[in-house]
Amino acid sequence: MSSFRPFGLTAWLAAPMAAALLMPVTLSPACAQAVAVAPTAPQAASPAPGPQTTTPATSQQESPEQRGLTARAIDKVKQVAKSAGDIFSRVPCLPPKDAHKGGAKSMGSLPHVASKLVAGKPVVIVAFGSSSTAGFGASSPDFNYPNRLAAQLHRQYPTADITVINAGVGGEDAPEMMKRLQKEVIDVHPDLVIWQVGTNAVLRNLDPGDTAKLVEDGITRIQAVGDADIVLVDPQYSPRVTERPESAGKMVKLLGRVAELRHVGIFPRFEVMRDWHEKQDIPVESFVISDGLHMNDWGYACFAQLLGDDIIRSVGQIKLGVNVPANVRTYRPM
Taken in order of first residue, the domains within the chain and their CATH numbers are 16-87 (no CATH), 97-319 (3.40.50.1110)
Is pLDDT of 315 > 80? yes
pLDDT for res 220: 98
Kindly report, residue by residue over 91-127, the tens digit of the pLDDT.
899 988 765 443 334 345 799 999 999 999 999 999 9
DSSP β-ladder status, 192-196 and 229-233 = parallel
d(CA 149, CA 168): 14
Is pLDDT of 265 > 80? yes
Q: How does 127-145 read in b/e, with b if 16+ C-beta sit within 10 Å?
A: bbbbbbbbbbbbbbebbbb
Closest C-alpha to 236, from 185, 283, 287, 309: 287
3-state secondary structure of 35: coil
Average pLDDT over residues 217-222: 98
pLDDT for res 9: 36
d(CA 120, CA 62): 26
pTM over 0.75: no
Hey, what amino acid is at 271? E
* DSSP, residue by residue, 82-111: HHHHHHTSSS-----GGGGTT-SPPP---H
pLDDT for res 225: 95
Kindly report, residue by residue over 160-219, the tens digit of the pLDDT.
999 999 999 999 999 999 999 999 999 999 999 999 999 999 999 999 999 999 999 999
Q: How confident is the model at residue 254 (pLDDT cuts 50, 70, 90)?
A: very high
Average pLDDT over residues 248-276: 96
